[in-house]
Amino acid sequence: MLVVLALLAVGCGDDDDGESAGGGGGTEELTPVTVGIIPIGGLAPFYYGLEQGYFEDEGLDVSTEIGFGGAEFVPSVLSGEYQFAVGEYLSLMLARQNGVELQVVSNLTNGAETPDRGTDALLVAPDSGIDSVDDLAGKTIAVNGLQGMGEVGLGAILEKQGLDPAGVSFVEVGFPEMNAAVAAGDVDVAWNVEPFITLGEQEGLINLLDPLYETEPSLPVGLVFGSQEWLEENPEVANAFYRALQRSLEAASDEEAMREAIAANTETPPDLAAEVALDNWQPEIDRAKLVILGQLATRYGILDEEPNLDELIWTAE
């Protein structure tokens, strides 16, 4: 991930052609911005904001590039190919620890506040013999990325039950492929997300529990990040993007609109989009919960020390 950062002159206010970001409207040219995404339901407010023109209102022409996950996007963000990308907090904490100067631009999603509203699940085959947390000892668990929430969340859950967190192993598998891996017996358990939870349940997989809720209710998970240097060099574009994204997240209370955005942007059939659990979208960053996450990550060996949140989080103007 440690690549040389190429400086981008994006949306500078003193460009000769008069381009700018943050004003919206008028005849000014839009500033191009590229965002690395993964096609999951948790990005519904972002999709909605694009469709409603919130980013154009801020003078931005946003394009997206689909990838596997946050770690994959890091080189593109550092090189300036992407200005922003979606990721999760633990990955960014680990990147900062390793000297990669990325920053959180905005929160996206938190884990469930109540056990019946989860969008994360541990899925197992119906004949797996896994009926509770006690049965996870010695099992292989599919996660979307190694050295992430899988190790931390499962570590906390197992330890609560008096089990050894080192007694499970993790395999990196993409969310869309996890259910098939469980069904084929390639892994014992999948930590999956919507809409693949509902799809898995329809295919006969068993939802054991919501691991995020069991780790810590409403734990911050999803975010948008950027390169610290790019953010410092391009504050007008960064703030314009932030304002549009916050506006998008504020619209997340419209559940019907979010389900429509999921169906339109994630290849989720409308009938399935009408059934999936919706994310706990939160525009504000909960620093108190991030302290808990940092403590857990340090406890289970993902981080060497608790992160400096002032360095991790970019501050909008």
Say which CATH number the domain at 126 has: 3.40.190.10
Structure confidence at residue 70 (pLDDT): 64
Tokens representing 115 are: 């056990």
DSSP code string of 21-71: SS--STTPPPEEEEEEE--SGGGHHHHHHHHHTHHHHTTEEEEEEE-S-HH
> Do residue 269 and residue 288 come from a single domain?
yes
Kindly state whether residue 166 falls inside one of the protein's structural domains: yes
Instruction: Give the residue numbers spanning the domain of 202.
Output: 115-215
In this structure, the answer to whether residues 222 and 211 fall within a common structural domain is: no
Q: Is residue 189 in some structural domain?
A: yes
In a shared domain, residues 269 and 197 = no
228 and 206 within one domain = no
Q: In terms of domains, do 124 and 148 share one?
A: yes
How many other CB atoms are found less than 10 A from the CB of residue 131? 10
Final residue belonging to a domain, choices 215, 238, 273: 215
Amino acid at 87: G
104, 222: one domain: yes
pLDDT for res 24? 47
What is the total count of domains within the chain? Answer: 2
Angle at 169 between CA 167 and CA 170, to 5 degrees: 145
Interior/surface letters 263-302, b for 16+ CB within 10 angstroms, e for the rest: bebbebeeebbeebbbbbbbbebeeebbeebbebbbebeb
Residue 5 covered by a domain:
no
2 lies in a domain? no
Do 89 and 157 reside in the same domain of the chain? no
Residue 287 lies in a domain: yes
Domain match, 93 and 164 both:
no
In this structure, is residue 25 part of a structural domain? no
pLDDT tens digits, the chain, 317 residues: what are they?
A: 333 333 333 333 334 443 445 454 445 799 999 999 988 889 999 999 999 999 999 999 999 999 876 678 999 999 999 999 999 999 899 999 999 999 999 999 999 998 877 889 999 999 999 999 999 999 999 998 888 888 899 999 999 999 998 889 999 998 889 999 999 999 999 999 888 899 999 999 999 999 999 999 999 999 999 999 999 999 999 999 999 999 999 999 999 999 999 999 988 899 999 998 899 999 999 999 999 999 999 999 999 999 999 999 999 98
CA dist 153 and 20 (Å) reads: 43
Give domain status of residue 8, yes or no. Answer: no
Are both 54 and 42 inside the same structural domain? Answer: yes
Residues 144 and 175 in one domain: yes
Do 103 and 131 belong to one domain? no
Whether residues 234 and 102 share a domain: the answer is yes
Amino acid in position 65 = E
Q: Which of 215, 234, 252 is the last residue of a domain?
A: 215
d(CA 252, CA 39): 17
Domain boundary among 194, 215, 236: 215
pLDDT attached to residue 71: 76
Contacts of 136 (CB under 8 A, 6+ apart): 130, 154, 158, 163, 167, 168, 189
Quick check: is 104 in a domain?
yes
End-to-end C-alpha distance for the chain, whole angstroms: 28
